[in-house]
């Protein structure tokens, strides 16, 4: 974390890989840079309600998954974005505020070590995989039914590796463009150090088999939000 309690360090791994995209969520961010999170795997492993709400999920093809991270001891991890934002009621003694939880409703928001490009190890805030039981405890059954079951989705977390869950095309393109904007090393990490729900297929391999994904543009109303 930033040594000043008035600021906290955020670690981005999807849409937050680009500074432009990050500023739509955190307009007052500072010191945008790259780092590496180790011992965590980046996975397209859960459906996101917001994709259904915005009309960019496809239940029929299962192209509805978003990114999360999961702890895997010894895993080389992935290149992430690193930046500081004003605390402003986001974290209190390592505990996320209701405001922060609302923004990242399905995740387990945790503090983890990361490496700066100079090798120094510091700590920052990362959105990790949660559980359905935590979601229900936090938000209640009504919200779960309104945000997921209403769209034909019975669970958020715990999708089997052979479930056929696929990345939301508009979101995957958005993350690809975000990573590309940060240079070759960031893009290569996104392509090779991100896997689908089977934990084997990399994004690079998936895009080879599904090149149309990178031509899947967002609806006009979402161009500013989902264009890298």
pLDDT in single tens digits along all 228 residues of the chain: 544 578 999 999 999 999 998 998 889 999 999 999 999 999 999 999 999 999 999 999 999 999 999 999 999 999 999 999 998 778 877 778 787 888 889 999 999 999 999 999 999 999 999 999 999 999 999 999 999 999 999 999 999 999 999 999 999 999 999 999 999 999 999 999 999 999 999 999 999 999 999 999 999 989 888 888
Residue 3 confidence (pLDDT): 44
Instruction: Return the C-alpha torsion angle 142, 43, 104, 76, nearest 10.
Output: 140
The pLDDT of residue 225: 84
> Phi and psi at residue 156, in whole multiples of 5°?
-95, -55
pLDDT in the model for residue 1: 53
The whole-angstrom separation of Cα 140 and Cα 123 is: 31
Joined tokens for residue 212: 């149309």
CA distance 158 to 221: 32
- Please report, in angstroms and rounded to a whole number, the separation of the first and last CA atoms in the chain: 26
What does the pLDDT read at residue 187?
A: 98
What is the model's pLDDT at position 109?
A: 94
CA–CA separation, 181 vs 97, rounded Å? 31
Sequence length of the chain is: 228
Cβ-based burial of 208 (10 A; exposed 0-12, middle 13-18, buried ≥19): exposed
Q: Cα–Cα distance between 130 and 147 in angstroms, integer?
A: 16
**Sequence-separated (6 or more) residues with CB below 8 Å from residue 228:** 18, 20, 21, 173, 174, 176, 177, 178, 180, 181
> Three-class SS of residue 228?
coil
Measured distance CA(47)–CA(75) in Å, rounded: 24
Angle formed by the axes of helices 184-192 and 169-180, nearest 10°: 150
Round to whole Å and give the CA distance between 168 and 172.
6
């Amino acid at each position: 974390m930033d040594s000043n309690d008035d600021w906290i360090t955020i670690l981005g791994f999807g849409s937050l890989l680009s500074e432009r995209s990050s500023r739509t969520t955190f307009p007052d961010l500072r010191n945008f840079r790259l780092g590496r999170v180790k011992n965590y795997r980046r996975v397209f492993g859960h459906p996101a309600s917001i994709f259904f709400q915005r009309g960019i999920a496809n239940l029929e093809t299962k192209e509805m998954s978003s990114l999360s991270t999961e702890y895997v001891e010894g895993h080389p991890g992935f290149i992430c974005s690193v930046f500081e934002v004003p605390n402003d009621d986001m974290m209190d003694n390592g505990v996320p505020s209701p405001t922060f939880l609302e923004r990242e409703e399905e995740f387990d928001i945790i503090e983890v070590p990361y490496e700066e490009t100079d090798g120094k190890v510091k700590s920052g805030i990362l959105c990790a995989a949660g559980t359905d039981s935590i979601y229900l405890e936090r938000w209640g059954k009504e919200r779960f039914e309104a945000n997921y079951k209403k769209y034909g989705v019975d669970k958020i977390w715990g999708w089997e590796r052979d479930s056929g869950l696929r990345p939301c095309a508009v979101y995957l393109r958005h993350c690809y463009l975000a990573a590309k904007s940060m240079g070759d090393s960031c893009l290569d990490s996104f392509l090779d150090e991100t896997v689908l729900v089977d934990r084997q297929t990399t994004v690079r391999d998936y895009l080879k088999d599904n090149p149309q994904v990178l031509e899947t543009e967002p609806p006009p109303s979402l161009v500013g939000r989902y264009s890298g």
